[in-house]
Amino acid sequence: MNDMTPEREERIAKLKGLGCSRKRVEDARFTQGKGNYVDDLKLPGTLFGDFVRSPHAHARIRSINADAAKALPGVLAVLTAADLAPLNLHWMPTLAGDKQMVLADGKVLFQGQEVAFVVATDRYVAADAVELVEVDYEDLPVVVDPFEALKEGAPVLREDIAGQTEGAHGPRRHHNHIFTWEAGDHAATEAALAEAEVVAEEMIYYHRTHPCPLETCGCVASMDKVNGKLTVWGTFQAPHAVRTVASLISGIDEHNIRIISPDIGGGFGNKVGVYPGYICAIVASIVTGQPVKWVEDRMENLMATAFARDYWMKGRIAATRDGRITALDAHVTADHGAFDACADPTKFPAGFFHICTGSYDIPVAHCAVEGVYTNKAPGGVAYRCSFRVTEAAYFIERMIEVLALKLGMDAAELRAKNFIRKEQFPYPSALGWEYDSGDYHTAWEKALKAVDYAGLRREQAERLEAFRRGETRRLIGIGLTHFTEIVGAGPVKNCDILGLGMFDSCEIRIHPTGSAIARLGTISQGQGHATTFAQILASEIGLPADKITVEEGDTDTAPYGLGTYGSRSTPVAGAATAMAGRKIRAKAQMIAAWLLEVHEGDLEWDVDRFVVKGAPERFKTMAEIAFASYNQAIPGLEPGLEAVSYYDPPNMTYPFGAYICVMEIDVDTGEHEVRQVYALDDCGTRINPMVIEGQVHGGLTEAYAIAMAQEIAYDDLGNVKNSTLMDFFLPTAWETPHYTTDHTETPSRTR
């Protein structure tokens, strides 16, 4: 009876469920200027906070004189570490098990570090007061190179832990060493490298950059002294985690803290961390009894909030002469800045870097990552990717290119020769992951064909000949990559942040007239959850997506979840949504059976209704069932139709893709033209192709930016050289290339 009749197709189309390029429900607000971002919030009596920041990268603070600032009319307070110390809030825990100064405690460790917090009635007065705070600094030697930082006589950066030989992630071998983390089989990898017919080596620096969302970080903290409730609106990618952390460090009971993430103007990892501004705004609100707003400016955002990358990756790859890879070794020196504030799951201080065997069947591998303190800003977040996965993908794909050069083999052929074959899934990788699914050869062949790879190589060779004959100065470059990601963190058995398991959640309430609200533990920052999660639910419960409200970001109403970052929301919270939907359907089936006076087993689900098997004219739609759940006394069943699900994924998911970029470059001037960017993604089941394509376009633009110019660079004195949008490259519409997207669809086998 489930034949595709036009009537049935129409019912499916009406749902706007899975696979539909549904237009976004968010857009009516955003296109008319009716978004509600944190800086739009205007509570009566709001005070403004602003930071005095360090101009030095490493200096001792001899004294802070805030008298002139405090005397300025409109200034209510100037907080320093000395004021926070009695509350034990002058330092705060980081997500990586380290601690970080909220306000400079005796010294500063990076340029832009928070030194004092001014609270005033007006943002202009606050800025004036910042100028009036006198800080007497004594310069200390600056270290901005992680290799220098690990040398014998290097300056001690973190005096607070100088003598500690044990860190959050194992032994520390040097005063500027944070951790060494390893995966794989060191001895077997060394043996395979020693025996190999060919070994290629490369040092690859993935420079420091910054997620730089268009909205900077900020919050409004409001302590209601009458009822003892603290409410904080802010740019939080993980509102529930922020609530728990805020409770742990402030001592305020968790039920008395309400965290609200309103609309967020892009995150890209930058808004995962807990920043000193949040703590200071909360303290200031507690002290003054008034709401306190803190919103950083762009310079503060680029200088002090979480950066991404800064990995020095030394690779060795071994192969037979005919191009069969036999071993891979990676040694990473990871510059974490002054405090280890990476936002990785606790057990993985280098994130999921050990996905660095990529798409290839490599029998033995080893990787070691050393975290190092320097006089740079803390951070190390996943910037438009899962934890350290972009680093890993860049590493292995570059190593493949280096090996292809050494072997004199075509890099596309070398890849195809070493891909994990589809019959090998589930595939245990040499570094300890179990890839659930994939079909790399199909994707690769499709990509090569789409760009006419053989034709491109011919054209490239002809151009090179013409260049040698002196006929042109422009050469053609062909960039190839076949990446495998690891996303959807993650299974509670091995993924937690600060002890909080990385499950996620969804709670659904069906209203009597056949509409619904779903609340999740995640928070969209542009991904369009209000649109796509309703689609998942529409397909599960048979109510139209247009009749399902999706709400996120308010810890007083949403079920506990770990938030949105590291490409986890759809695989984890999306799955929780489907699971909760199935609970609704299970109860609906019992209600339908009672209404139709048949046994539950005599019913089958059909798009939006339960139908009596063999009697298609006898059915109850989900809308009818919803109403019945509120007005019928059904024996053995509670009234109402609600469900909640907390989904603990059994495994990560392993999406993959094949990207090819063709560029022309003038060898004299470096002037470039991106001729073609082809991007094939396989993310498994596609919920909303329009939204997926949009996400891919955005990611590609980051790739373009980082490859061409985007960098947070430091000079030898630790001055940030790219602290405004004048110097930090964000591509405009003018130079951004045109993209061609494509896909294959290999559903995950994880259930």
Partner 1 sequence: MAKMHLKLTVNGTEHECLAEPRELLIHVLRERLNLTGPHIGCETSHCGACTVDIDGQSVKACTVLAAQAQGAAITTIEGIAGPGGMHSIQEMFREHHGLQCGFCTPGMITRAWRLLQENPSPTEEEVRFGMAGNLCRCTGYQNIVKAVLAAAAELNAAKEAAQ
Residues lying near partner 1 in the complex (CB under 8 A) are found at 23-24, 26-35, 37, 39-40, 42, 123-124, 212-216, 263-266, 268, 297-299, 525-528, 690-691, 693-695, 697-701, 724-726, 730, 732-734, 736, 738-739
Q: DSSP 3-state assignment of 382?
A: coil
* C-alpha–C-alpha distance, residues 236 and 173, integer Å: 35
Judged by CB, which is closer to partner 1: 440, or 739? 739
Considering the complex, what minimum distance in angstroms separates the CB of residue 667 from partner 1? Answer: 26
Q: Which residues contact 44 (CB under 8 A, 6 or more apart)?
A: 291
Judged by CB, which is closer to partner 1: 265, or 684? 265
Considering the complex, what minimum distance in angstroms separates the CB of residue 693 from partner 1? Answer: 7
367 contacts 331 by C-beta, under 8 angstroms: yes
Considering the complex, what minimum distance in angstroms separates the CB of residue 570 from partner 1? Answer: 15
Judged by CB, which is closer to partner 1: 32, or 227? 32
* C-alpha–C-alpha distance, residues 44 and 35, integer Å: 20
Judged by CB, which is closer to partner 1: 26, or 485? 26
* C-alpha–C-alpha distance, residues 621 and 606, integer Å: 9
Considering the complex, what minimum distance in angstroms separates the CB of residue 741 from partner 1? Answer: 9
Judged by CB, which is closer to partner 1: 38, or 487? 38
Q: List the one residue out of 378, 356, 375, 374 whose CA is nearest residue 365.
A: 356
Considering the complex, what minimum distance in angstroms separates the CB of residue 703 from partner 1? Answer: 10
Q: How far is CA 475 from the centre of its chain?
A: 36
User: What φ, ψ does residue 313 adopt, rounded to 5°?
Assistant: -115, 115
Judged by CB, which is closer to partner 1: 145, or 693? 693
Beta bridge partners of residue 477, listed in sequence order: 663
* C-alpha–C-alpha distance, residues 114 and 275, integer Å: 10
Considering the complex, what minimum distance in angstroms separates the CB of residue 25 from partner 1? Answer: 10
- Kind plus residue range of the DSSP H or E element containing 53: strand 47-53
Considering the complex, what minimum distance in angstroms separates the CB of residue 213 from partner 1? Answer: 6
Judged by CB, which is closer to partner 1: 200, or 264? 264
State the number of CA atoms in the 13 A half-sphere of 133 facing the CB: 29
Considering the complex, what minimum distance in angstroms separates the CB of residue 38 from partner 1? Answer: 11
Judged by CB, which is closer to partner 1: 29, or 473? 29
Considering the complex, what minimum distance in angstroms separates the CB of residue 732 from partner 1? Answer: 4
Structure tokens given for 288: 């003054």
* C-alpha–C-alpha distance, residues 81 and 112, integer Å: 16
Judged by CB, which is closer to partner 1: 709, or 730? 730
Structure tokens given for 515: 């509409």
Judged by CB, which is closer to partner 1: 72, or 579? 72
Considering the complex, what minimum distance in angstroms separates the CB of residue 29 from partner 1? Answer: 7
Considering the complex, what minimum distance in angstroms separates the CB of residue 28 from partner 1? Answer: 7
Considering the complex, what minimum distance in angstroms separates the CB of residue 728 from partner 1? Answer: 9
Name the E strands within 127-185: 134-139, 166-167, 170-171, 177-184
Judged by CB, which is closer to partner 1: 169, or 210? 210
Q: Give the 3-state secondary structure of 293-334.
A: EEECCHHHHHHHCCEEEEEEEEEEEEECCCCCEEEEEEEEEE
Considering the complex, what minimum distance in angstroms separates the CB of residue 708 from partner 1? Answer: 14
Q: Could you tell me the CA-to-CA distances from 387 to 305, 435, 490 in Å, in that order?
A: 17, 16, 11
Q: Could you tell me the CA-to-CA distances from 130 to 59, 116, 540 in Å, in that order?
A: 19, 8, 55
Q: DSSP 3-state assignment of 79?
A: strand
Judged by CB, which is closer to partner 1: 297, or 361? 297
602 contacts 611 by C-beta, under 8 angstroms: no
* C-alpha–C-alpha distance, residues 344 and 354, integer Å: 13
Judged by CB, which is closer to partner 1: 296, or 540? 296
* C-alpha–C-alpha distance, residues 115 and 400, integer Å: 46
Q: List the one residue out of 112, 110, 109, 92 whose CA is nearest residue 101.
A: 92
